[in-house]
């Protein structure tokens, strides 16, 4: 699998703020992804929030953008990837990556699975800032309530840097007087 960092996905998504759909839900997002057979069929001229999320992953992934983007979202990689909100939520659920509490970088799913987008920030008052496509027919930021969500999909992201710290707790029950050596590489 290749690389897809949250910082790159976020940069890609935020650069799209203000993009407005064309007639009949036409978007450059569906145009680009349809051209590479990303989904299980054409997605032009349909509600496009899921297509937008997939496009942001695709544009932010390397060296195999399609394969890496699909893997990061836990989507099927063989001709069965759907763009629908319910499809997307199910991919995360199938991998045990669907949560009730959001984190920055998650994909949110509204009640009744009618809309999805990115979580940019989580606030202490029960709300979070979003980046979302097909919000009032454009790409926009908004603030939404956590209580208005079905849940949050947690994508797979590459670590932001090779020197990123990882905290691991190891509990060792050894007899008193026995020296325990742990080597981490």
Q: Find out whether 19 and 172 touch, Cβ atoms under 8 Å.
A: no
Tens of pLDDT, residue by residue over 52-64, are: 999 999 999 988 8
> HEC string of 36-61?
CCCCCCCCCCCCCHHHHHHHHHHHCE
User: How far is the C-alpha of 48 from the C-alpha of 62, rounded, in Å?
Assistant: 23
Burial 2-26 (b: 16+ CB within 10 A, else e): eebbbebbbebbeebeeeebeeebe
Q: Which residues of the chain have pLDDT under 70?
A: 1, 76-80, 162-169, 184-185
State how far the Cα of 17 lies from the Cα of 154, in Å rounded to an integer.
Answer: 22
pLDDT on residue 65: 83
For residue 89 the two structure tokens come to 């939520």
pLDDT confidence of residue 1: 62
Q: Does residue 63 have a cis bond before it (omega within 30 degrees)? A: yes
Return the pLDDT at 83.
86
User: Collapsing DSSP states into helix, strand and coil, what is residue 85?
Assistant: helix
Topology at the third CATH level for domain 3-153: SH3 type barrels. (2.30.30)
Q: So where are the chain's domains? A: 3-153
Are the beta carbons of 133 and 49 closer than 8 angstroms?
A: yes
pLDDT of residue 62: 85
Q: Give the pTM.
A: 0.85
Catalogue the E-assigned strands of 32-177.
61-62, 98-99, 107-110, 116-122, 127-135, 138-145, 149-153
At 76 the pLDDT is 67
Q: Which two tokens stand for residue 127?
A: 């709300």
Instruction: Identify the pLDDT of residue 166.
Output: 55
């Amino acid at each position: 699998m290749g690389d897809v960092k949250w910082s790159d996905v976020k940069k890609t998504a935020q650069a799209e703020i203000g993009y407005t759909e064309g007639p009949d839900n036409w978007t450059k997002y569906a145009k680009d992804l349809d051209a590479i057979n990303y989904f299980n069929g054409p997605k032009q001229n349909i509600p496009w929030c899921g297509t937008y999320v997939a496009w942001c992953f695709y544009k932010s992934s390397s060296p195999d953008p399609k394969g890496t983007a699909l893997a990061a979202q836990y989507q099927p990689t063989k001709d069965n990837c759907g763009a629908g909100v319910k499809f997307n939520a199910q991919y995360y659920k199938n991998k045990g990556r669907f949560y009730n509490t959001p984190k920055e970088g998650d994909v949110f799913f509204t009640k009744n699975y009618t809309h999805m987008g990115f979580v940019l920030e989580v606030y202490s008052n029960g709300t979070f800032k979003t980046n979302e496509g097909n919000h009032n027919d454009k790409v926009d930021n908004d603030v939404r309530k956590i209580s208005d969500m079905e849940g949050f999909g947690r994508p797979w992201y590459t670590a932001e840097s090779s020197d990123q710290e990882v905290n691991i707790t190891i509990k060792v029950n050894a007899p008193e007087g026995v020296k325990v050596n742990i080597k981490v590489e």
